[in-house]
Structure 1
């Protein structure tokens, strides 16, 4: 009897122990903008995926942190970010005054954004989401990882083949022992002309943002005086146009996002202040800074009708997390520098060829401490984010997003913007799925296959603002653009610069000849024989296609003339003697000699 009882107890103890270990292919730690997109894409690529988030909401800084006015990537909305943006606009479009123009900044209430992300993840097969689940430890397990989380107050082990660190502060990367740097890089280190001579430990300020609501002229929503309040800390606001500042920060339902610089709600930190042992004290001081701003606004400036909302279920009604712009950056397989943005086509490494996402946010420079270097950026172009910047150099099967990416300080100011990170997350999810599907590791990545998966799900590789994802030739233009055969054209506008494909402009021989000669051995002979003029004609292109594919020239031209408007849907008339447009060139090149099929390595070099 006792032996049977002992066997039963032993069986249940073994079952309980077994239940404490969870297995998944991809584990995404952190449910912020990048993490939720990475998890969605990985699962949609038919890979068993788990997402763990320590807080109550998905969305990270753009929901839990209150950063709910998104200007970045509004001209480049694609894939999962376009899906999220569409759901937000559909939710609010019936509201009077809500701006639904195609590239308007996206405005939403934080809990609405979080609810929409949850609704999306609830519909994704192969995806398990665990909320209110902190990560506590990580260690190597062969080529995969063993991760400890806290679930229902107890430690649980997750064995994952690949881990994505999508935490706000790069905590997983730090715990895995990855080399990390922070602050301004020196010019000697990065070779960036705009970098300061000497490195510093200074990083951008953090901010506890806040959502205020107008409760009516007669209302008095004044909060209690915060601990340590000093009115003179906010005195620069006396000369500010508060009404204009509020108007630019308006949200639906008479609410306002307060994200003010100078003497507003920024709080100066270094990376040491954001270490786990220092965070509680740092965040408490940053919260008091924001509460002081609210109190000053209500008392010294007379806006007592503006009061805190109950959007966040915290004791002081401030967001669950601060808006963190920067922390420590990992050592990746490649490091993205400013020249990869300003002059991507003329560098030794052609990192744009490995792009997994795009961005167009203008770099922030949020420093309230005196003496921080100010960088006079020329008009900042839209850019591609290279695959190698999310791949940790010395650890297999660990990908990084958010603030831990392998970029320089001067690039970081743009790339950590929430909507850029959501766009990036899709590329990271496709990369994770590639490793699992092909049973390989991050040491053996093939950029073109990963990029193909991103394009399958309407993601974007090249930041062409004039080619929408709904364009009939979108994929062909993206693929040809990712080879460098037809390069993007920067168009400055104020402090930024769009990158355009200009599909109706004509192709110059000088722009396509170098690349064609680089990738095809017979190209050199063709150019010497045909000697095309300054403008590359349709006849030139058909002759080149005939040379590369061994098609009969007369039959090719006859077939092309018949299919010009019916199959290819070109709007121009077929005339072999006129200059070919960039759209026509991209479509036909992609179809007949497919330069995108040429393999590239993780630095963008062509592989034979």
Structure 2
């Protein structure tokens, strides 16, 4: 009998232990903009994926932090970010006054945004989402990782081939032992002309956003005076156009997002404040500061009709988390700097060739008056984010997103933006899927395979604002753009600059000759023999294709003439003497020469 009891206890213990270990191919920790997109992409790439989020909502900054007026990437509806935008517009399209313009600033109620993301994840096969699920530890497990989470009040072990740190502040990478840098980098360190001469340990302030609702002129929604309230902290708001400031944050259903700089709800922050040991106490002070702003708005500025909306089920009705703009950054395989934004084609490293995401968010500079140098950014370029910025140098199969990415301080001011991070997350999900599917590590990434997967799911590699996803040759132009065979052209518009493909302009010989000679040995012979003019013609392109593919010139010409409009749907007439357009060139070069198939390393260097 005793032996039977021991046997039963042993079997029960074995079953219990087994039940407490979960195996997955991809584990995403953090359900913010990047984490949600990463999990969706990993699962859509047909890899078993698990997402754990300590809080009750998906969306991070855009939802749980209340940053629900999103301007960045309005002209770049890349992949999952574009999908989310469409769902939000569809939800509100029948609301009177809601702007459904394709590139309008996106405005939504945080709860609605979180619900939309949850609905999307619920439809994705191979994806398990665990909300209200904190994690406590991470350690190496062969080439993968072992993570401890708290599930149903019990410690549970997750074994994953690849882990994506999608926390707002790089907590997972820090716990794993990764080294970080923070604050302003020096000009000597990054080579950035706009960086200060010496490094400065100053990061952007956080904002604890508030959502208020207009309850009508006669309503009095004045809150209890917050602890430690000091009206002098908000005195600079007197004399300002508060109605306009509120309108800038207008949301559907008579709600307003309050995210005011200066003496509003912006709150000074250090890297030490954001460390796990100090975070709760620091957050409590930041919350009180925002409550003080609301009290001041109601009592000193006469807006007692504005009350904190019950959107967030927190005791004070403020968002679950603050809007964090910056934390510490990892040391990745490479670091993206401002030169990769402003001069992507003139750098020794051609990082645009390794692009996994795009961004165009204007860089923020949120510091207290006189506490940090002001950076005079020229009109900010739309840019690509390189694969190497999410790959850790010394830790296999642990990818980083959000504010932990390997970028300079001056780049983080844009790349941290939620819509940009949703694009980054999709790139991270495709990268993790590559490692898991091919049973390899982040030291053996194939850039082109990862980029091809992203293009399959309608993601942008290059931020060409004039090439829409519905264009039947969107992929061709993206792929040719990612090789550098045809380079984008910047167009300044106020404080920003778009990158355009200009598909209807003609191709010059000077722009394609260097690339052709770089990767095709026979190109030297061809250019010496043909001596094309300043404008590259249709005939030049067919002749070059014939040279490289060893196709009979006459056969190629006859076939192309038949297919020109019938198959390729080109609008111009077939004319061997006419300069070829960038669209025509991209389509035909991509098909017959396939420059995108050329392998590149993480620095963008062509590998033979």
Measured after TM superposition, the shift of residue 245 of structure 1 is: 1.1
Paired position in structure 2 for 1:415: 415
Distance in 1 between residues matched to 2:6 and 2:439, nearest whole Å: 42
Paired position in structure 2 for 1:341: 341
Encode CA deviations 1:211-261: one digit per residue, 9 max, x unaligned: 110000111111111111111111111121111111111100000000000
Paired position in structure 1 for 2:429: 429
Distance in 2 between residues matched to 1:480 and 1:387, nearest whole Å: 18
Encode CA deviations 1:441-463: one digit per residue, 9 max, x unaligned: 00000100000000011111000
SS of alignment partner, residue 102 of structure 2: coil
- For the 8 Å contact 1:361–1:415, the answer to whether it is kept is yes
Distance in 1 between residues matched to 2:165 and 2:352, nearest whole Å: 23
- For the 8 Å contact 1:27–1:160, the answer to whether it is kept is yes
SS of alignment partner, residue 497 of structure 1: strand
- For the 8 Å contact 2:382–2:463, the answer to whether it is kept is yes
SS of alignment partner, residue 97 of structure 1: coil
Aligned pairs for 1:505-524 within 5 A: 505-524=505-524
Distance in 2 between residues matched to 1:572 and 1:160, nearest whole Å: 53
Distance in 2 between residues matched to 1:15 and 1:117, nearest whole Å: 35
SS of alignment partner, residue 155 of structure 1: strand
TM norm structure 1: 0.99
SS of alignment partner, residue 3 of structure 2: helix
Over 3 Å off, 4+ runs: none
SS of alignment partner, residue 540 of structure 1: helix
Paired position in structure 2 for 1:549: 549
Paired position in structure 1 for 2:241: 241
Encode CA deviations 1:416-463: one digit per residue, 9 max, x unaligned: 100000011111100000001111000000100000000011111000
Aligned pairs for 1:112-511 within 5 A: 112-368=112-368, 370-511=370-511
Paired position in structure 2 for 1:596: 596
Encode CA deviations 1:364-390: one digit per residue, 9 max, x unaligned: 000015331100000000000000000
Measured after TM superposition, the shift of residue 201 of structure 1 is: 1.0
Measured after TM superposition, the shift of residue 2 of structure 1 is: 2.6
- For the 8 Å contact 2:107–2:252, the answer to whether it is kept is yes
More off after superposition, 148-157 vs 171-180: 148-157
Distance in 1 between residues matched to 2:572 and 2:243, nearest whole Å: 51
Measured after TM superposition, the shift of residue 153 of structure 1 is: 2.0
SS of alignment partner, residue 160 of structure 1: strand
Distance in 2 between residues matched to 1:50 and 1:127, nearest whole Å: 6
Distance in 2 between residues matched to 1:132 and 1:159, nearest whole Å: 19
Paired position in structure 1 for 2:105: 105
Distance in 2 between residues matched to 1:452 and 1:442, nearest whole Å: 17
Measured after TM superposition, the shift of residue 321 of structure 1 is: 0.3
Aligned pairs for 1:562-577 within 5 A: 562-577=562-577
- For the 8 Å contact 1:62–1:68, the answer to whether it is kept is yes
SS of alignment partner, residue 304 of structure 1: coil
Pairwise CA RMSD:
0.7
More off after superposition, 272-281 vs 382-391: 272-281
- For the 8 Å contact 1:51–1:130, the answer to whether it is kept is yes
Paired position in structure 2 for 1:82: 82
Measured after TM superposition, the shift of residue 6 of structure 1 is: 2.1
- For the 8 Å contact 2:262–2:369, the answer to whether it is kept is no
Paired position in structure 1 for 2:531: 531
Encode CA deviations 1:536-577: one digit per residue, 9 max, x unaligned: 111111111111111111121111111111100111111111
- For the 8 Å contact 1:268–1:369, the answer to whether it is kept is no
Distance in 1 between residues matched to 2:425 and 2:362, nearest whole Å: 19
Residue 63 (str. 1) matches residue 63 (str. 2): yes
SS of alignment partner, residue 238 of structure 2: helix
Measured after TM superposition, the shift of residue 357 of structure 1 is: 0.6
Distance in 1 between residues matched to 2:156 and 2:586, nearest whole Å: 51
Distance in 1 between residues matched to 2:543 and 2:156, nearest whole Å: 64
Q: Number of paired residues?
A: 608
Distance in 1 between residues matched to 2:225 and 2:583, nearest whole Å: 62
SS of alignment partner, residue 600 of structure 2: coil
